[in-house]
Structure 1
């Protein structure tokens, strides 16, 4: 029997993304978020949700751009710090030793040391209670060659992205490969004799 847990964001997992932006003084800033995901394939878009009180909220609103840097198991401590410290009072790039790279496509930096980054132009914002959802069109994906598979696309086993457990506040690796999508379930048939 299922037990009711109430209205909580307990849908697992969510990504651990480090969002890059510039402030009004052109200082590069990064912030870790866990409310995000892909929201459209054509045009390719993703969404991140931030509270208005965050420093990054103002940066993205002013610059109309951001990057999403995918946190990996190797980077998880740095990503955690970037979700604790505020860009208003801390230079997170200096504190972590990470390197900001100026995008040539959007007015936002990406992180050199993170293996996968999406450069996004802000398309729309949607206010949703405590958070505002920023919808960004992905103009390019930057990927280290070391994480690419034979097909030229990111290999999750090489990337090793981190997932976040909302409410319980824990980080997790993704786990083992289970099979190709849109293929392994093709022989499952529903029986009329249920």
Structure 2
């Protein structure tokens, strides 16, 4: 099999694409689209988000130490793109997109009501990395719509219609290829 050597780049794909909502101490809120996001630890549950210092949301999250990771579904792909290419310095994204800000249970940052899953986080550490800083957030609450849960209350990705990002495009997710450990089962 022939392979071509490429220059070092962020070749990991696809990656989750999320809408991160935040607010400042004055209560002004914003939404930023982030694809540099991931689970970092199970105990305690930690999520990392990479944000450029120049982004409007950067100072809001640094100031309050709180954010919400909102998982958008396929019907929100246009909204996700809009939030990624428009700055909150110029646009009230909740107002412009008629999104529903829902008060958090554990943080002051609003949840996005239209997203099927919302993950409230409190910043535990900020690591300066280069073009982006990594905000490590401890998960303090998770909200999920009833229709994305199974009869045991477990999250069903195929019901959520989540999206991913890779190679400059948004991708649909939803078809299971096998559960963890299926290769060992007979």
Q: TM-score range by the shorter chain?
A: over 0.9
Paired residue for 1:191? none
- Indicate yes or no: 2:79 matched with 1:50: no
d(CA) in 2 for partners of 1:93 and 1:105?
20
Distance 1:47 1:178 in 2: 26
Tell me which residue corresponds to 1:185.
Answer: 183
Distance 2:75 2:180 in 1: 26
Deviating more after overlay: 148-157 vs 133-142 = 148-157
C-alpha separation in 1, matches of 2:88 and 2:41: 29
- The within-5 A match list for 1:10-29 is 10-29=11-30
Report if aligned partners of 1:121, 1:138 keep a CA contact under 8 Å in 2: yes
Q: CA deviation at 1:24?
A: 4.0
Contact 2:30 2:92 (8 Å CA) reproduced: yes
What is the TM-score of this pair, normalised by structure 2? 0.96
SS in 1 for 2:10: coil
RMSD: 1.3
Residue 187 of structure 1 and its aligned partner are, at CA, apart by 5.7
Measured against aligned partners, the alpha-carbon deviations of 1:140-185 in whole angstroms (never above 9, x if no partner) come to: 11000011112211101100110000xx210001252112112x11
Match of 1:192 in 2: none
What does the per-residue CA deviation read over 1:102-121, in whole Å, with 9 as the maximum and x for residues that have no partner? Answer: 21301211101111010000
Q: Secondary structure at the match of 1:67?
A: strand
Structure 1: where are the runs of 5+ without partners? 189-194
CA-to-aligned-CA distance 1:55-107 (integer Å, 9 cap, x gap):
10000000000000001111111111011111111100001110111213012
Unaligned runs of 5+ in 2: none
Query: What count of residue pairs does the alignment treat as equivalent?
Result: 185
